[in-house]
Amino acid sequence: MKTITIETTIGEIVRAVPSRSRVFENLGIDYCCGGKKPLAEVCQAKGLDPATVVAMLSALDDAPNPTAVDPDALSLSELCDHIEEFHHGYLREELPRLDFMTRKVAAVHGDHEPRLLEVRQVFEAFNAEMTAHTKEEDETIFPAIRKLETANGDSASTAVNLKTSLTKLESEHDSAGAALVRFKDLTDSYTPPGWACNTFRALYDGLAKLEKNTHQHVHKENNVLFPRALAIGGPA
């Protein structure tokens, strides 16, 4: 990976590692239309220290993956906490960003690449469903699981209601999985065309990371959290 210097252009920095676009977005730096400007010039215009921005970009490149945990080693309450922090928190931050980019890229490039219009449509449905889905888990399902664990399963009505709710949530996971498959098909496995601008590239990078995070998210719920919660509640 090419070393970042203050003379490297913003466009080159993002093109090498599209996820770096997040740093520039947070700093209000235009990495698309303004991508030909060197980092030093952009930082001067923004009143930023170039060395600090380079350090922020390097920290992003070197950041460990907080989702790489052993869910079986956690209590149910700890696993709920982990999912809320690292998966639901990720969606709260990332879905608005992807909403903006899918809308912008479809509007600018949809005539040239019509599949982007469907990417936008699929994302809108995915966004609405996952937002409602995680809200239900945070406000209703996870508190019930924590309560069930604390009571050692001594709540027959909670267990029965929980089973019905978890069946519904797993169905929603299937729907989300189908959307991810469609994203991958529509984007040629998240491979942007050679003429793609940096916003276009950042969008595909974001969708690829969305797929990875959602797969981890669903695995921890479908295969670990939900079965263990139902086991505490008694026979299915």
Low-confidence spans in the chain with pLDDT less than 70? 1-2, 64-68, 152-159, 233-236
Among candidates 116, 118, 93, 121, which has minimal Cα distance to 105?
A: 116
Contacting residues for 177 by C-beta, under 8 A, at least 6 apart: 214, 218
Q: What CA–CA distances, in Å, run from 230 to 134, 136, 155, 160, 219?
A: 19, 18, 12, 9, 16
pTM given for the model? 0.80
Note the pLDDT of residue 152.
62
Note the pLDDT of residue 61.
81
Note the pLDDT of residue 56.
93
